[in-house]
A and B are shown apart, each in its own frame.
Chain A
Amino acid sequence: MRDHVFRHRHLLGIEGLTADDIGHVLDLADGYVELSRQPEKKCSTLHGRTLINCFFENSTRTRTSFEVAGKRLGADVINMAVAVSSMKKGETLIDTAMTLNAMRPDVLVVRHPESGAVQLLSEKVDCAVINAGDGGHEHPTQALLDALTIRRRKGRLGGLTVAICGDVLHSRVARSNIALLNAVGARVRVVAPRTLLPAAVERLGVAVFHDMAAGLKDVDIVMMLRLQLERMHGSFVPSTREYFHFFGLDYDKLKLAKPDALIMHPGPMNRGVEIGSEVADDIDRSLVRQQVEMGVAVRMACLEILGRGPAASNGPPLK
């Protein structure tokens, strides 16, 4: 499988990746899952390479996951919390990009609160760029780690039915997952109140449901999305109580899914809002902790593919 050619200089989104591209990343990541379970977790794949984590938006999980991934591959990892430095000084994104570029990193991992910002930055630098989340647009490594989690547990992705539930409107995780699951031949549903669905969402290749009973019927995977605190009280939904009542995942709703249906959540979870604790902590059904573990492996795979330098930089940038 290693002879697959990944024809993209950056990883800016899932859109534009083929099923083969995705399979290649997941195959590589499988190996890194094993490596990460050894007492000696480090290899020298990216020895001497520099990885800069450049986060314009607060993040602990994703940033740490990339940091661990980079270090296990032997890269030098630098964390920049840009949110509290340049942006406050009024430096533009492009200036920041130029500055970072001059330090000659091999990979930039970028998160930004605005859709399209990571692509803009990628156009101004010479190294590979990995999108660690841009606004409401994409979060490709999250979708890849979700796919790896599902594939390891179910043995496949194609043919499965996946329900993505909750705040699809603001979710980059949802967009990346919809793109990925469609690319690999899964059936995708979205389940949410109409105030939390973007316009024309069905055009992304999903079946749309507005109640959990119908939406979860016979699904293999239930993916819950986080509902941001500021959207809970009256602006998009009336209250957390009402939201949990109709759209929160508990055993009553889960029993409508297939008996072996599995639960996922990109974290951090709002217990009692979009997901009940008893379901979230069910070790037979909930994959939440596996998702975090797979996150490191998938990011190692992405860093290996994009971080090795010129050999991987033929081909057009991935949109």
Chain B
Amino acid sequence: MSGRRQLFRGARLIDPDSGLDGLGDLIVEGDRIAALGPGIAAEAAGGEVEIIDCAGLCLAPGLVDMRVQLREPGAEHMESIESSGRAAAAGGVTTMAALPNTTPPVDDVSVVEFIARRAREVRLAKVHTYAAATKGLGGRELTEIGLLAAAGAVGFTDGVKAIADALIMRRVLAYARSFDQLVIQHPEEPSLGGAGEVTEGETATRLGLAGIPAAAEAIMVERDLRLVQLTGARYHAAHLSTAEGVAAIRRAKAAGLPVTCDTAPPYFALNETAIGDYRTFAKLSPPLREEADRQAVVDGLADGTIDAIASDHAPWDQDSKRLPFSSATCGIVGLETLLPLALDLHHGGRLSLIDVLRRLTVAPARILGLDVGRLKRGALADLVLFDPDLGWRIDTDAFRSKSKNAPFDGRSVKGQIVRTIVDGRTIFQRERQRSSQ
């Protein structure tokens, strides 16, 4: 049964999976991609066709954001599935994977189903959820990994907490492997963090804040890699932020271990100087690092050690952030700035445009085993249309997210979303502005 037809005409089509990067047209029929390639506009002729002029714009698979915190259920005043869906749409994100740190946490099949139902009702970006690796995110007892996976959980993690105990981690990995499930770690040895809130070093010392040594990341990653060797499970290290952490994953990949990792924009776009005089909007977990670590993260993205870029979207209300630094919560919102901040890597000459998009689309989709993130005939039409060069200034007040906690307010970026499409439906559209080239 053929549905409504849309012709995206004259776009720069970019599909990291196939390596396609060239001018062409793309036809959507109903919810799927019917055809794509150069000079196929004629195929769309006949019948009713909506024509979308894409001159000067890139058309790519919708972004797959593999690390988003929902606040629903539990803290809908900070973010709901609907508001995060709107933020995702505005950010070109068509699929998100949500952390299990809701209230209640996603450690029970019913919560997985609740989130899926709410996402269906909202009908914005697609929402997948991770489930907790341990009950109540408590780090002690395994969750029903098999049943949760059957209910649709796309991976197992304790969210913003490390699975700290080595024995528990070993069992999580071993058990998850029985069901071929992915385990995602927040890689930070918590006992070294203590009361820490920034990276140990001169900045922490000057500000009189308790520091976490950067080595806390590599220590946890290295330990986990040994457990991966023991168990053979698929392991993913989230938001890598240090040179040593990246190096550990690089070695593990060279040794053939089934490991992947991601990072988030603050770790390649900022260093610890963003904390300035106790700016709580720059308080993150893991904390911002020194410049050498930031550069190592960029290097890891450039050489492919870091597979994916995720927003690590963490919405918090004013009351969680307008506090003395050590009382303030960690995290920033990121859905609406994911693409332009990642495009900095392209504009700065470190990654090609197609490689930046690979880390935002097919790479995370593959890690999660989701059949999205590609421009392919017959695939569901999840698309993002954007101007890669249009400059604009980030204005956190304009965010669709209910929370505005981002350290990027006022930052000049390049790359603006013009349209976001999920299953052939436009879920976000912006008046086109002229590229100020």
Residues in A lying within 8 Å of B, measured CB to CB = 15, 92-94, 112, 114-117, 119-120, 134-138, 172, 175, 198-201, 203-204, 319
C-alpha gap A15/B213 in the complex (Å): 25
Spot the interface stretch: B65-73, B302-310, B319-327, B387-395: B319-327
**Are A319 and B323 in contact, CB atoms less than 8 angstroms apart?**
no
**Are B208 and A203 in contact, CB atoms less than 8 angstroms apart?**
no
Q: CB of B105 within 8 A of chain A?
A: no
- Closest chain B CB from A143 CB (angstroms): 14
**Are A115 and B202 in contact, CB atoms less than 8 angstroms apart?**
no
**Are B208 and A172 in contact, CB atoms less than 8 angstroms apart?**
yes
Residue A199 contacts which of B205, B278, B324 (CB distance < 8 angstroms)? B205
6 A-B contact pairs sorted by A residue (CB < 8 Å): A115-B207, A116-B324, A175-B206, A198-B211, A203-B202, A204-B202
- Closest chain A CB from B289 CB (angstroms): 13
| Contacts A136-B208, A136-B209, A204-B206; A117 near B201 (Cβ below 8 A) | no
**Residues B325-370 near A (CB distance < 8 A):** 325-327
C-alpha gap A4/B366 in the complex (Å): 67
C-alpha gap A199/B213 in the complex (Å): 9
Q: What per-residue 1/0 map shows which CB atoms of B287-329 lie under 8 Å from chain A?
A: 0000000000000000000000000000000010011111100
**Are B208 and A93 in contact, CB atoms less than 8 angstroms apart?**
no
Residue B326 contacts which of A15, A135, A175 (CB distance < 8 angstroms)? A135
**Are A120 and B278 in contact, CB atoms less than 8 angstroms apart?**
yes
Residues in B lying within 8 Å of A, measured CB to CB = 200-202, 204-211, 213, 277-278, 319, 322-327
| Contacts A92-B319, A94-B322, A136-B208; A116 near B202 (Cβ below 8 A) | no
**Are A116 and B211 in contact, CB atoms less than 8 angstroms apart?**
no
**Are A93 and B323 in contact, CB atoms less than 8 angstroms apart?**
yes
**Are A115 and B205 in contact, CB atoms less than 8 angstroms apart?**
no
Q: Which residues of B contact A175 (CB under 8 A)?
A: 206, 208
**Are A115 and B323 in contact, CB atoms less than 8 angstroms apart?**
no
C-alpha gap A119/B324 in the complex (Å): 9
C-alpha gap A198/B198 in the complex (Å): 13
**Are A200 and B208 in contact, CB atoms less than 8 angstroms apart?**
no
Nearest B residue (CB) for A12 = B277
Which are the 7 A-B pairs with shortest beta-carbon distances?
Answer: A137-B208, A116-B278, A136-B208, A117-B324, A114-B324, A115-B208, A198-B205
Q: Which residues of B contact A204 (CB under 8 A)?
A: 202, 205-206
- Closest chain A CB from B39 CB (angstroms): 60
Residue A92 contacts which of B201, B210, B323, B326 (CB distance < 8 angstroms)? B323
Residue among A94, A112, A199 with max Cβ neighbours from chain B (10 Å): A199
- Closest chain A CB from B318 CB (angstroms): 9
**Are B208 and A134 in contact, CB atoms less than 8 angstroms apart?**
yes
**Are B327 and A114 in contact, CB atoms less than 8 angstroms apart?**
yes
| Contacts A92-B319, A136-B209, A199-B201; A119 near B278 (Cβ below 8 A) | yes
Q: Which residues of A contact B209 (CB under 8 A)?
A: 115-116, 135-137
**Are B324 and A200 in contact, CB atoms less than 8 angstroms apart?**
no
Q: Which residues of A contact B211 (CB under 8 A)?
A: 198-199
**Are A137 and B207 in contact, CB atoms less than 8 angstroms apart?**
yes
- Closest chain A CB from B196 CB (angstroms): 11
| Contacts A92-B322, A199-B200; A119 near B208 (Cβ below 8 A) | no
**Are B277 and A119 in contact, CB atoms less than 8 angstroms apart?**
yes
Nearest A residue (CB) for B319 = A92
C-alpha gap A169/B76 in the complex (Å): 40
- Closest chain A CB from B287 CB (angstroms): 13
**Are B206 and A116 in contact, CB atoms less than 8 angstroms apart?**
no
Q: Which residues of B contact A135 (CB under 8 A)?
A: 208-209, 324, 326
C-alpha gap A137/B210 in the complex (Å): 10
C-alpha gap A200/B203 in the complex (Å): 9
C-alpha gap A316/B204 in the complex (Å): 24
**Are A116 and B205 in contact, CB atoms less than 8 angstroms apart?**
no
**Are A199 and B202 in contact, CB atoms less than 8 angstroms apart?**
yes
- Closest chain B CB from A106 CB (angstroms): 24
- Closest chain A CB from B19 CB (angstroms): 46
Residue among B201, B207, B211, B324 with max Cβ neighbours from chain A (10 Å): B324
C-alpha gap A93/B280 in the complex (Å): 14
Q: Which residues of B contact A137 (CB under 8 A)?
A: 207-209
Q: Which residues of B contact A198 (CB under 8 A)?
A: 204-205, 211
**Are B205 and A93 in contact, CB atoms less than 8 angstroms apart?**
no
Residue B324 contacts which of A15, A112, A172, A201 (CB distance < 8 angstroms)? A112
Residue among B202, B207, B208, B319 with max Cβ neighbours from chain A (10 Å): B208
Q: Which residues of A contact B325 (CB under 8 A)?
A: 114-117
C-alpha gap A134/B324 in the complex (Å): 10
Q: Which residues of B contact A172 (CB under 8 A)?
A: 208
A-B contact sample (5 more), CB < 8 A, given A114-B326, A116-B278, A120-B323: A92-B319, A120-B322, A136-B208, A203-B205, A204-B206
C-alpha gap A204/B202 in the complex (Å): 8
Q: Which residues of A contact B213 (CB under 8 A)?
A: 199
- Closest chain B CB from A131 CB (angstroms): 11
C-alpha gap A94/B327 in the complex (Å): 13
C-alpha gap A138/B205 in the complex (Å): 11
C-alpha gap A70/B201 in the complex (Å): 38
Q: Which residues of A contact B326 (CB under 8 A)?
A: 114-115, 135
Q: Which residues of B contact A15 (CB under 8 A)?
A: 206
Q: Which residues of B contact A119 (CB under 8 A)?
A: 277-278
Q: Which residues of A contact B207 (CB under 8 A)?
A: 115-116, 137
Q: Which residues of B contact A112 (CB under 8 A)?
A: 324
**Are A120 and B324 in contact, CB atoms less than 8 angstroms apart?**
yes
**Are B277 and A116 in contact, CB atoms less than 8 angstroms apart?**
yes
**Are A138 and B208 in contact, CB atoms less than 8 angstroms apart?**
yes
**Are A200 and B201 in contact, CB atoms less than 8 angstroms apart?**
yes
Nearest B residue (CB) for A94 = B322
- Closest chain A CB from B207 CB (angstroms): 6
- Closest chain B CB from A30 CB (angstroms): 30
C-alpha gap A152/B413 in the complex (Å): 56
- Closest chain A CB from B290 CB (angstroms): 10
Q: Which residues of B contact A115 (CB under 8 A)?
A: 207-209, 278, 324-326
C-alpha gap A15/B208 in the complex (Å): 12
- Closest chain B CB from A56 CB (angstroms): 9
- Closest chain A CB from B317 CB (angstroms): 12
